[in-house]
Amino acid sequence: MSYGNDFVLTLFTNDADLAQAGNDAGINRIGLDLEKIGKEHRQDSSKAWVSNHEIHEIQAIRDKLTCAALFARTNPIHDGSRDEINCLIDQGVNVLMLPMFHTVKEAATFIDLVNGRALVSLLVETAASAIRLHEIIKLPGIDEIHIGLNDMHLDMKLSNHFEVLTSGFVDMLSDIVLTAGIPFGFAGIGRVDDGRLPIPGDLIYAQYPRLGATRALVARSFYSPDFRELDLANEVSAVREALDRWYLAGTKEQTAALALLREKVIDWTA
Protein backbone atom coordinates (compact mmCIF):
# COMPACT_ATOMS: atom_id res chain seq x y z
CA MET A 1 0.00 0.00 0.00
CA SER A 2 0.98 3.66 -0.21
CA TYR A 3 -0.01 7.05 1.12
CA GLY A 4 -2.32 7.65 -1.84
CA ASN A 5 -3.88 4.20 -1.74
CA ASP A 6 -4.48 4.44 2.00
CA PHE A 7 -5.98 7.94 1.74
CA VAL A 8 -9.66 7.99 2.79
CA LEU A 9 -12.10 9.68 0.39
CA THR A 10 -15.67 10.50 1.44
CA LEU A 11 -18.49 11.24 -0.98
CA PHE A 12 -21.80 12.85 -0.01
CA THR A 13 -24.67 11.89 -2.29
CA ASN A 14 -28.32 10.86 -2.25
CA ASP A 15 -28.07 9.67 -5.86
CA ALA A 16 -28.02 5.87 -5.82
CA ASP A 17 -26.38 5.71 -9.24
CA LEU A 18 -23.57 8.02 -8.15
CA ALA A 19 -23.19 5.97 -4.97
CA GLN A 20 -22.83 2.84 -7.08
CA ALA A 21 -20.27 4.53 -9.34
CA GLY A 22 -18.33 5.87 -6.38
CA ASN A 23 -18.28 2.48 -4.69
CA ASP A 24 -17.03 0.82 -7.88
CA ALA A 25 -14.41 3.56 -8.37
CA GLY A 26 -12.84 2.93 -4.96
CA ILE A 27 -14.19 5.83 -2.90
CA ASN A 28 -13.92 4.73 0.72
CA ARG A 29 -17.04 6.22 2.29
CA ILE A 30 -20.34 7.24 0.76
CA GLY A 31 -23.49 8.61 2.32
CA LEU A 32 -25.80 11.47 3.16
CA ASP A 33 -25.25 15.03 4.27
CA LEU A 34 -28.19 15.56 6.64
CA GLU A 35 -27.03 18.85 8.14
CA LYS A 36 -29.79 21.43 7.83
CA ILE A 37 -30.26 23.15 11.18
CA GLY A 38 -28.95 26.69 10.85
CA LYS A 39 -27.06 26.01 7.63
CA GLU A 40 -29.15 27.92 5.12
CA HIS A 41 -29.11 31.08 7.21
CA ARG A 42 -25.43 30.70 8.05
CA GLN A 43 -24.27 30.25 4.48
CA ASP A 44 -26.73 32.54 2.72
CA SER A 45 -24.18 35.27 2.09
CA SER A 46 -21.86 32.85 0.31
CA LYS A 47 -24.67 31.29 -1.75
CA ALA A 48 -23.27 27.93 -0.72
CA TRP A 49 -25.06 24.72 -1.60
CA VAL A 50 -27.31 23.39 1.16
CA SER A 51 -27.99 19.66 1.14
CA ASN A 52 -31.45 18.37 0.25
CA HIS A 53 -30.67 14.87 1.52
CA GLU A 54 -33.28 13.14 3.68
CA ILE A 55 -32.73 10.39 6.21
CA HIS A 56 -35.12 7.99 4.47
CA GLU A 57 -32.74 7.92 1.47
CA ILE A 58 -30.03 6.12 3.43
CA GLN A 59 -31.35 2.67 2.52
CA ALA A 60 -31.09 3.30 -1.23
CA ILE A 61 -27.47 4.37 -0.80
CA ARG A 62 -26.66 1.47 1.53
CA ASP A 63 -27.97 -1.03 -0.98
CA LYS A 64 -25.40 0.14 -3.57
CA LEU A 65 -22.35 -0.24 -1.35
CA THR A 66 -20.29 -3.40 -1.50
CA CYS A 67 -16.90 -1.93 -0.54
CA ALA A 68 -17.44 1.61 0.70
CA ALA A 69 -18.49 2.32 4.28
CA LEU A 70 -21.87 3.96 4.84
CA PHE A 71 -21.40 7.54 6.06
CA ALA A 72 -23.62 10.34 7.30
CA ARG A 73 -23.15 13.90 8.49
CA THR A 74 -25.78 14.61 11.11
CA ASN A 75 -27.29 17.85 12.28
CA PRO A 76 -25.52 19.77 15.05
CA ILE A 77 -26.44 18.72 18.57
CA HIS A 78 -30.14 19.47 19.14
CA ASP A 79 -33.13 18.07 21.01
CA GLY A 80 -33.59 15.33 18.40
CA SER A 81 -29.96 14.21 18.20
CA ARG A 82 -30.50 10.96 20.09
CA ASP A 83 -33.30 9.84 17.76
CA GLU A 84 -31.40 10.95 14.66
CA ILE A 85 -28.23 9.10 15.63
CA ASN A 86 -30.10 5.95 16.68
CA CYS A 87 -32.04 5.92 13.41
CA LEU A 88 -28.86 6.19 11.33
CA ILE A 89 -27.04 3.50 13.28
CA ASP A 90 -30.06 1.20 13.10
CA GLN A 91 -29.89 1.55 9.30
CA GLY A 92 -26.27 0.49 9.19
CA VAL A 93 -24.32 3.75 9.10
CA ASN A 94 -20.66 3.02 9.87
CA VAL A 95 -19.29 6.55 10.29
CA LEU A 96 -21.07 9.59 11.75
CA MET A 97 -19.82 13.17 11.47
CA LEU A 98 -20.80 15.98 13.86
CA PRO A 99 -20.82 19.43 12.23
CA MET A 100 -20.98 22.97 13.58
CA PHE A 101 -20.14 22.35 17.22
CA HIS A 102 -18.54 24.97 19.45
CA THR A 103 -17.89 23.39 22.84
CA VAL A 104 -16.26 20.37 24.42
CA LYS A 105 -19.66 19.47 25.88
CA GLU A 106 -21.30 19.25 22.44
CA ALA A 107 -18.55 16.95 21.19
CA ALA A 108 -18.79 14.81 24.34
CA THR A 109 -22.57 14.57 23.97
CA PHE A 110 -22.22 13.34 20.40
CA ILE A 111 -19.65 10.72 21.39
CA ASP A 112 -21.89 9.53 24.22
CA LEU A 113 -24.91 9.27 21.94
CA VAL A 114 -22.98 7.23 19.38
CA ASN A 115 -21.70 5.07 22.23
CA GLY A 116 -19.16 3.11 20.21
CA ARG A 117 -21.70 1.88 17.67
CA ALA A 118 -20.13 3.79 14.77
CA LEU A 119 -16.92 5.69 14.09
CA VAL A 120 -16.99 9.28 15.35
CA SER A 121 -15.77 12.06 13.05
CA LEU A 122 -15.74 15.57 14.51
CA LEU A 123 -15.98 18.39 11.98
CA VAL A 124 -14.00 21.35 13.34
CA GLU A 125 -15.40 24.26 11.35
CA THR A 126 -15.97 27.01 13.91
CA ALA A 127 -13.41 29.32 15.47
CA ALA A 128 -14.67 28.28 18.92
CA SER A 129 -14.10 24.56 18.32
CA ALA A 130 -10.68 25.31 16.85
CA ILE A 131 -9.64 27.37 19.86
CA ARG A 132 -10.85 24.58 22.16
CA LEU A 133 -9.23 21.79 20.17
CA HIS A 134 -6.58 21.22 22.84
CA GLU A 135 -9.38 20.16 25.21
CA ILE A 136 -11.57 18.43 22.66
CA ILE A 137 -8.86 15.96 21.66
CA LYS A 138 -8.70 14.71 25.25
CA LEU A 139 -12.17 13.20 24.91
CA PRO A 140 -12.14 9.40 24.61
CA GLY A 141 -13.97 7.99 21.61
CA ILE A 142 -12.83 10.32 18.81
CA ASP A 143 -11.91 8.30 15.73
CA GLU A 144 -10.99 11.19 13.48
CA ILE A 145 -11.17 14.94 13.04
CA HIS A 146 -11.99 16.82 9.87
CA ILE A 147 -11.18 20.53 9.51
CA GLY A 148 -13.88 22.31 7.52
CA LEU A 149 -12.55 25.32 5.64
CA ASN A 150 -15.74 26.77 4.19
CA ASP A 151 -17.65 27.49 7.39
CA MET A 152 -14.38 28.31 9.12
CA HIS A 153 -13.66 31.13 6.68
CA LEU A 154 -17.18 32.48 7.17
CA ASP A 155 -16.81 32.34 10.94
CA MET A 156 -13.41 34.05 10.77
CA LYS A 157 -14.66 36.72 8.32
CA LEU A 158 -12.06 35.82 5.69
CA SER A 159 -12.48 36.21 1.95
CA ASN A 160 -12.41 32.51 1.08
CA HIS A 161 -11.55 29.09 2.44
CA PHE A 162 -8.13 29.06 0.78
CA GLU A 163 -7.06 31.85 3.11
CA VAL A 164 -7.64 29.53 6.06
CA LEU A 165 -5.48 26.84 4.47
CA THR A 166 -2.56 29.13 3.61
CA SER A 167 -2.57 31.23 6.79
CA GLY A 168 -0.82 28.69 9.02
CA PHE A 169 -4.01 28.16 11.01
CA VAL A 170 -4.56 24.64 9.65
CA ASP A 171 -0.91 23.88 10.36
CA MET A 172 -1.51 24.73 14.02
CA LEU A 173 -4.63 22.58 14.22
CA SER A 174 -2.98 19.66 12.47
CA ASP A 175 -0.11 19.73 14.96
CA ILE A 176 -2.58 19.52 17.84
CA VAL A 177 -4.47 16.59 16.32
CA LEU A 178 -1.44 14.62 15.19
CA THR A 179 0.23 15.03 18.58
CA ALA A 180 -2.85 13.35 20.06
CA GLY A 181 -2.50 10.49 17.57
CA ILE A 182 -5.87 11.17 15.93
CA PRO A 183 -6.20 10.82 12.13
CA PHE A 184 -7.43 13.96 10.43
CA GLY A 185 -8.43 15.43 7.11
CA PHE A 186 -9.51 18.77 5.76
CA ALA A 187 -11.57 20.34 2.99
CA GLY A 188 -12.75 18.71 -0.20
CA ILE A 189 -10.81 17.93 -3.36
CA GLY A 190 -11.61 18.32 -7.02
CA ARG A 191 -10.23 16.33 -9.92
CA VAL A 192 -6.49 16.50 -10.49
CA ASP A 193 -6.48 18.43 -13.78
CA ASP A 194 -9.81 20.24 -13.61
CA GLY A 195 -9.17 23.59 -15.32
CA ARG A 196 -12.46 25.03 -14.04
CA LEU A 197 -11.11 25.37 -10.51
CA PRO A 198 -10.05 28.87 -9.37
CA ILE A 199 -6.91 27.47 -7.73
CA PRO A 200 -4.87 24.64 -9.30
CA GLY A 201 -5.95 21.44 -7.60
CA ASP A 202 -2.44 20.03 -7.64
CA LEU A 203 -1.27 22.72 -5.20
CA ILE A 204 -4.05 21.71 -2.83
CA TYR A 205 -3.06 18.05 -3.10
CA ALA A 206 0.46 18.95 -1.98
CA GLN A 207 -0.89 20.22 1.34
CA TYR A 208 -2.25 16.85 2.46
CA PRO A 209 1.08 15.06 2.90
CA ARG A 210 2.72 18.30 4.05
CA LEU A 211 0.25 18.53 6.93
CA GLY A 212 0.05 14.80 7.60
CA ALA A 213 -3.61 14.56 6.62
CA THR A 214 -4.96 11.20 5.55
CA ARG A 215 -8.50 11.96 4.39
CA ALA A 216 -10.64 14.43 2.44
CA LEU A 217 -14.16 14.95 1.19
CA VAL A 218 -14.90 14.60 -2.51
CA ALA A 219 -16.01 18.04 -3.67
CA ARG A 220 -19.16 18.41 -5.75
CA SER A 221 -17.02 19.83 -8.55
CA PHE A 222 -15.31 16.42 -8.74
CA TYR A 223 -18.31 14.73 -10.32
CA SER A 224 -20.20 17.66 -11.85
CA PRO A 225 -21.89 18.46 -14.09
CA ASP A 226 -22.55 14.76 -14.87
CA PHE A 227 -20.59 11.91 -13.33
CA ARG A 228 -21.81 9.63 -16.14
CA GLU A 229 -19.53 11.49 -18.55
CA LEU A 230 -16.48 10.69 -16.42
CA ASP A 231 -14.38 7.61 -15.99
CA LEU A 232 -14.78 7.92 -12.23
CA ALA A 233 -12.45 5.02 -11.46
CA ASN A 234 -9.72 6.65 -13.53
CA GLU A 235 -10.26 10.01 -11.80
CA VAL A 236 -10.05 8.45 -8.35
CA SER A 237 -6.90 6.58 -9.38
CA ALA A 238 -5.41 9.89 -10.55
CA VAL A 239 -6.15 11.40 -7.13
CA ARG A 240 -4.28 8.63 -5.37
CA GLU A 241 -1.35 8.87 -7.78
CA ALA A 242 -1.11 12.64 -7.26
CA LEU A 243 -1.15 12.23 -3.50
CA ASP A 244 1.61 9.63 -3.75
CA ARG A 245 3.66 11.93 -5.97
CA TRP A 246 3.46 14.79 -3.48
CA TYR A 247 4.11 12.49 -0.54
CA LEU A 248 7.30 11.24 -2.18
CA ALA A 249 8.33 14.74 -3.25
CA GLY A 250 9.29 15.57 0.32
CA THR A 251 9.09 18.61 2.58
CA LYS A 252 11.06 21.02 0.39
CA GLU A 253 8.81 20.64 -2.65
CA GLN A 254 5.66 20.54 -0.53
CA THR A 255 6.64 23.82 1.13
CA ALA A 256 7.42 25.37 -2.26
CA ALA A 257 3.93 24.35 -3.38
CA LEU A 258 2.51 26.14 -0.32
CA ALA A 259 4.36 29.34 -1.26
CA LEU A 260 2.99 29.17 -4.78
CA LEU A 261 -0.47 28.40 -3.44
CA ARG A 262 -0.32 31.53 -1.28
CA GLU A 263 0.54 33.63 -4.34
CA LYS A 264 -2.36 32.14 -6.31
CA VAL A 265 -4.78 32.75 -3.43
CA ILE A 266 -3.68 36.37 -3.04
CA ASP A 267 -4.12 37.00 -6.75
CA TRP A 268 -7.50 35.27 -6.87
CA THR A 269 -8.75 37.05 -3.77
CA ALA A 270 -7.70 40.41 -5.16
Q: How far is CA 166 from the centre of its chain?
A: 17
CATH code at position 165: 3.20.20.60
Contact 169, 155 (CB under 8 A): no
3-state secondary structure of 122: strand
pLDDT digits (tens, 9 = 90+) for 85-134: 999 999 999 999 999 999 999 999 999 999 999 999 999 999 999 999 99
Assess contact for 122 and 93: CB atoms under 8 A.
Answer: no
pLDDT tens per residue across span 153-163: 999 999 999 99
Q: Are 86 and 45 a contacting pair, CB within 8 Å? A: no
Rounded to two decimals, the pTM is 0.95
Residue 67 has pLDDT above 50, yes or no: yes
CA distances in angstroms from 119 to 46, 55, 143, 269, listed in the order given: 31, 18, 6, 37
pLDDT band with cut points at 50, 70 and 90 for residue 45: very low
Q: What is the DSSP letter of 75?
A: P
Do 64 and 23 contact (CB within 8 A), yes or no? Answer: yes
Going by the DSSP 8-state scheme, the letter that residue 68 receives in this structure is: S
Average pLDDT over residues 177-200: 94
* Residues of the domain holding 253: 3-269
